[in-house]
Amino acid sequence: MNSLETKTRFAKDRQRNAFVLLRPEALTFCRQIKELECRLFCTHRVNLMKIFFAMTLFVSVLNFPTASANGQGDTKDNRDTLKFGSHDVGFRTIFSYDISRPAIPYSDWDGKLYPTRETKGRQMQINVWFPATATKQSSRIRFQHYVELTGRQIDFGPLSEKSRKFTDEQFIKKVNALGGNGTFNAKKLDKLKVLKTGAWYNAKPVDKKFPLIVFPNGGSPAFQSVMCEYFASHGFVVAAVVLKGQHAFGGDISVRGIETVVDDLGFAINKLMEIPQVNKDQIGLIGNGFASSQIVAYQTRNANVDCIVSLDGGLLSQFEQEILKRTAFYSPEAVNVPILAIHSPHPSIDPKHISHLKYADHYVFHFPKLSEFHYLNFGPFESQVPNIIGKPKGDVKRGHAIASQYCLNFFKAILLKNKNCQDFLAATHPPTEFRGHVKETYKRKGIATPPNIANLKNAFFSKGFDSIEQIYRKLKPQNKTPFSREFYKEMRDWLAWKKDPKYENRFRLYKLAVDSYPDSAIANYYFAYFAMKSGKKKISKEYNEKALRLLEIDNDDALTFKRKARMKAYILEDLKTLNGDKQGRGK
């Protein structure tokens, strides 16, 4: 074989190998060049190496991922089962401080504290994905960047080699705690670090307003980035707020933990409102695990939130419902926005635990093959690192993609009023291609929310108590308890201040209360008292006797042993008065 033949064969071998990595349009071009090469060789004996060099250079340009590729370039990554939208995805991190609160140290999941250099205020790292256009100056972000940001959640400065090593160790430790059981190691982390994500450095934001989705997580942005990128590609600004505790980085699963995160979310969302792309009138929240209860607690205080997603969250557990009930604002009336609840098999999780949230539209879907953390990045990462958080029950990468689509359709249906997505959610059964991944579906339409206490007070001021009764009667056909127990207490105390000298309005108020809560010892007790004070002795005697009986069987948490004893003494005293035995008393 002569020198020219050797070079020609070598060039053709390289050309064949190159085809494996090329996109379809590049392959077509290569075939055309090959035909031209053969004609030139036969007629003009052109130097094939020069042709091949020019060909491969041009093909490399064809094959480079451009803005129109929407992040789906030549490198296999963790998004190949997701159908990304029409937008490229930009990414930025906001390092901010809440100077009204003190800085906190880092704490690992074992509770060990590490001192911080920060002193300016409470550290608030906010990661933002946004619809963008990738330019020649843009480059794809690798997952390593997200991992390194987890090492800058408390100390915002650049990572040193020592802190970078510590960050890797913490990430590995957390993954093992989530189910890796010691099998996840530095070598496996390195496999994830090199993955190209769906986001770009230096991408130009699309000049348009988009709805805001907030997805808080303690592992932000490395735990939930895949779904955040997916939402952003479909036209949403998505923010991942780092969850922290009151005194240190580690979160608190308690009322204190909820209140701390509510403050953090308030600060972060206020900061996000400064972004020109954000539509301030379209806000959705999504949370996994305990974060699902934290976002609901925030929603009860911010009427600007339009919808919430519980992504296999503890919101559907009795344990977290009991915590929420001890927060100041939580009530069925306050949770009055649509809820998407996606859940997987767990002994503590059951949709029945949110059945009392009757003012919210419920969209509930059961994913039997996923677990709590497969809804985060660990679902798609399963194909890169098998059994990353334990052996899965099925195709968790596909399950994650389907769950992502359900969440996207929910946000589009509620925030954008997209008719196709509304029909998708309303369907009786999941699409055929989703069968096996989505086992059960449940939908329930929320009932009309009663006016808030401020509007009811205004109605009384404008038109008297008749207006309160009219509102009650209007709501009663579809709602057995139009007003909450808390409403009666607050309205009672408000009327007591120079608005009801003859007790008639409070008598009428508690007439509604016993109509709604006939088995409530407290409601019957106050109805009897205000009947006596307004001169209705027969009614007072009847309901005092009923309240006395109910005290023995009513399990209302507000009825402590001490309060029951005090109420019983007052009732017996009033009955003596009503029977003419002695003078009445005040309460």
Query: In the prediction, which pLDDT does 435 show?
Result: 86
pLDDT band at 505 (very low <50, low <70, confident <90, very high): very high
To the nearest 10°, report the CA torsion of 190, 192, 196, 199.
-120
pLDDT at 582 (0 to 100): 63
* Lowest model confidence (mean pLDDT) among 25-34, 174-183, 498-507: 25-34
Report, in this order, helix, strand and coil percent for the chain, each rounded to 5: 45, 15, 40
Instruction: Specify the pLDDT at position 32.
Output: 45
The runs of H, that is alpha helices, within 381-536 are 396-415, 419-426, 453-463, 465-475, 485-495, 504-516, 521-533
Q: What pTM does this model have?
A: 0.85
pLDDT band for position 41 (cuts 50, 70, 90): very low
Q: Residue 8 pLDDT more than 70?
A: no
Amino acid sitting at position 267: F
Cβ neighbour number for residue 542 with a 10 Å cutoff: 16
Could you report the per-residue pLDDT of 121-155, keeping only the tens digit for each?
999 999 999 999 999 999 999 999 999 999 999 99
DSSP string, 80-114: TTS---SSEEEEEEEEEEETTS----EE-TT--EE
Residue 81's pLDDT is what?
Answer: 80
Q: How many residues are present in the chain?
A: 587
Checking DSSP bridges between strand 339-343 and strand 307-311, what pairing results, if any?
A: parallel
Segment (H or E) for 287: strand 278-288
Whether 517 contacts 523, CB under 8 Å: yes
Q: How does 291-320 read in b/e, with b if 16+ C-beta sit within 10 Å?
A: bbbbbbbbbbeeeebbbbbbbbbbbbbeeb
Q: What is the CATH number of domain 88-444?
A: 3.40.50.1820
Distances in Å between the Cα of 128 and the Cα atoms of 105, 143, 199, 353, 581 are 24, 15, 10, 33, 73
What is the distance between the alpha carbons of residues 308 and 284, in angstroms, rounded to a whole number?
6
The residue with greater pLDDT, 53 or 410, is 410
Spatial neighbors of 423 by CB under 8 A, at least 6 apart, are: none
Mean pLDDT, rounded, for 37-60: 40
The pLDDT score that the predictor gives to residue 583 is: 57
Cα gap 416→235, rounded to integer Å:
10
pLDDT digits (tens, 9 = 90+) for 230-272: 999 999 999 999 999 999 999 999 999 999 999 999 999 999 9
For residues 368-387, average pLDDT: 96
Give the pLDDT of residue 34: 42
Q: Please return the burial class of 187, using the count of CB atoms within 10 Å of its CB with bins 0-12, 13-18 and 19+.
A: exposed
Token duo for residue 568? 């019983």
Is pLDDT of 55 > 70?
Answer: no
With a cut of 80, say whether residue 18 has pLDDT above it.
no
Taking residues 44-64, report their average pLDDT. 40
Q: What's the fold here for domain 453-578? A: 1.25.40
Provide the β-strand partners of residue 342.
311, 365
| DSSP structure string for 426-454 | H-SS--GGGTTT--EEEEEPPPPPPPPHH
Tell me the per-residue pLDDT of 163-185, one tens digit each, with 9 for 90 and over. Answer: 999 999 999 999 999 999 999 99
pLDDT at 585 over 70: no
pLDDT band for position 108 (cuts 50, 70, 90): very high
Query: Taking a C-beta distance cutoff of 8 angstroms, is the pair 204, 133 a contact?
Result: yes
pLDDT over 90 percentage in the chain: 83
Mean pLDDT (whole number) for 480-503: 96
From residue 549, how far is each of 489, 504, 524, 555 by CA, in Å? Answer: 22, 25, 10, 13
Helix 48-63 crosses helix 24-44 at what angle (to 10 degrees)? Answer: 170
Q: Is it the case that residue 83 has pLDDT exceeding 80?
A: yes
pLDDT on residue 121: 97
Q: Is the pLDDT of residue 73 over 90?
A: no
Please give the Cα distance from 441 to 443 (Å, whole number). Answer: 7
Please state, rounded to an integer, the average pLDDT across all residues of the chain. 88
pLDDT of residue 47: 45
Closest Cα partner for 369 from 391, 392, 386?
Answer: 392
Please name which of 556, 572, 571, 570 lies closest in space to residue 520, comparing C-alpha atoms.
Answer: 556
Q: Dump pLDDT digits (tens) for 550-575.
A: 999 999 989 999 999 999 999 999 99
Identify the CA nearest to 239 among candidates 250, 249, 231: 231
Tell me the mean pLDDT in the region 193-219. Answer: 97
Residue of 345, 372, 182, 206 lying closest to 287 (CA atoms): 372
